[in-house]
Amino acid sequence: MAKKKTTKKKTSKKTTTKSTKKDEMEPDNESDGEEMVDEEDVKELVEEELKEEKHTGMENTQNFSKISPFVVDSLNYDVKDLPGVGAATLKKLEDAGYGTLQAIAMTPQKTIMEDTGLGEKTTASIIQAARETLQLTYVTADQVWERRKHLPKITTGSDKVDELIGGGIEVGGITELFGEYRTGKTQICHQLCVNVQLPRSEGGLEGRALYIDTEGTFRPERLIQMSEAKGLDYKKVLKDVFVIRAHTSEHQVLLVKNSIDTISKEKINLIIVDSLISHFRSEYISRGTLATRQQLLNQHIHDLIRLGNIYPELAIVVTNQVQAKPDAFFGDPNRPTGGHIMAHASTLRLYLRKGKAEQRIMIVKDAPHLPEGEAVFTITEDGIGDA
């Protein structure tokens, strides 16, 4: 179905290394966060949420391109590398969390102005200088392929699931875990916090995790059990997981915005938002507020996408609930909440279902490079494993 979307400005991703500043740029599907909310999306949500009988019947995963995490270089151009910028301006940028040129080059001008208090002209010239310094330009497909071949992945703990999703959870993009309650979304998030710390040879990134807990379901006890099952020193594992409880959607948005600095300072390779949409759903319930909700959610998701662009070795994992499609006469009536905005943002959507006892089923729902398929895994005291 044709959809109304406003024009998107393109932003570019950082793609060069400090030592070899090759001219390169990737095709970029990211919008700048100023995108208007899709009217069809809101209409559909109104119909679903208010349980009206009529349904648009639109599938929420069609006609959208994906955000592709191409870049693997770990880059750290400091904001101090910017030519011709005074100390006061530098301080404003740093205080607002714009410590790297990537952050400046990839954030909409309006956002930088709001965050730093800098004027329009100054901000525009800083962005331009950042992009010039980073030499953002095209790359050829073989260069993209070369990078993708070496794209690091985080093991889920189940070989079957890893195989299903092409080797593990990819960095640079958003992986969405959705499913009914107790299907294992939070358990997988916990397991990834442990696994991201593993050596690269064992499916980790030797990195740390940042866990934004919106439902109060984070449990260090589980990290201890999962660490011990892998023979890891749980005290060290716990120290390398940064946890914060988000109390409202507004707080959640702020935490993600502010994480930009923590990610580089603390060497974070995994950011989790568990769950992404629950606050938004509980706070914006009436028909009149759905457009606002989708607008805010859209901006929030773009903040997350931007993190993946700025930090190419950052995996972004979010959980989502399901909603029964009222007019589904056959097949599984469940589908993820969040409408088109969420469908558009996720690089990989994974649907979780309950199996027998400790068994769970992971189903690839929407991926740019993977066939649809499923794998059975287990949740035990030791964590995520093979059935």
What residues form DSSP beta bridges with 245?
213
**Structure tokens given for 224:** 């201890």
Structure tokens at 169: 């959870």
381 binds, among Mg ion, ligand ATP, none (CB under 5 to 8 A by kind): ligand ATP
Q: Which is nearer to ligand ATP, 268 or 318 (CB)?
A: 318
Query: Near ligand ATP by CB under 6 A, which window of 167-175, 203-211, 255-263, 378-386?
Result: 378-386
Helix H or strand E encompassing 243: strand 241-245
- Alpha carbon dihedral 28, 276, 182, 334, in 10-degree steps, equals -70
381 part of the interface to ligand ATP, by CB under 6 A? yes
Q: What residues line the site for Mg ion (CB under 5 A)?
A: 185-186, 217
Kindly state the smallest distance separating residue 220's Cβ from ligand ATP, in Å: 12
Q: Are the beta carbons of 372 and 365 closer than 8 angstroms?
A: yes
Residue with tokens 């400046």: 104
Cross-strand pairs, 208:
268
List, in sequence order, every residue forming a beta bridge with 211; answer none if it has no partner. Answer: 243, 272
Q: How far is the CB of 241 from Mg ion (least distance, A)?
A: 16
Closest by Cα among 91, 375, 381 to 230: 381
The residue count for binding ligand ATP (CB under 6 A) is 12
Residue 183 contacts ligand ATP per CB under 6 A: yes
Q: Which tokens is 270 given? A: 């995994």
**185 binds ligand ATP per the rule CB under 6 A:** yes
* Closer residue to ligand ATP in complex, CB, 98/218: 218
Choices 32-40, 263-271, 342-350, 373-381 (CB under 6 A): range interacting with ligand ATP? 373-381
From 99, 179, 338, 339, residue interacting with ligand ATP (rule: CB under 6 A)? 179
Token pair of 128 as six digits: 């331009």
Restricting to residues 265-304, which ones interact with ligand ATP according to CB under 6 A? Answer: none
Nearer residue to Mg ion within complex by CB, 143 or 217: 217
CA distances to 25, 274, 322 from 334, rounded to whole Å, are 38, 19, 6
Least Cβ distance, residue 182 to ligand ATP (angstroms): 4
Exactly one of 2, 7, 65, 181 binds ligand ATP (CB under 6 A); that residue is 181
With residue 320 as reference, give the H or E element that holds it: strand 315-320
Is 181 or 329 the residue whose CB approaches ligand ATP more closely? 181
Shortest reach from residue 28's CB to ligand ATP, in Å: 32
φ and ψ at 380, to 5 degrees? Answer: -125, -175
State the residues that interact with ligand ATP by CB under 6 A: 179, 181-187, 217, 379-381
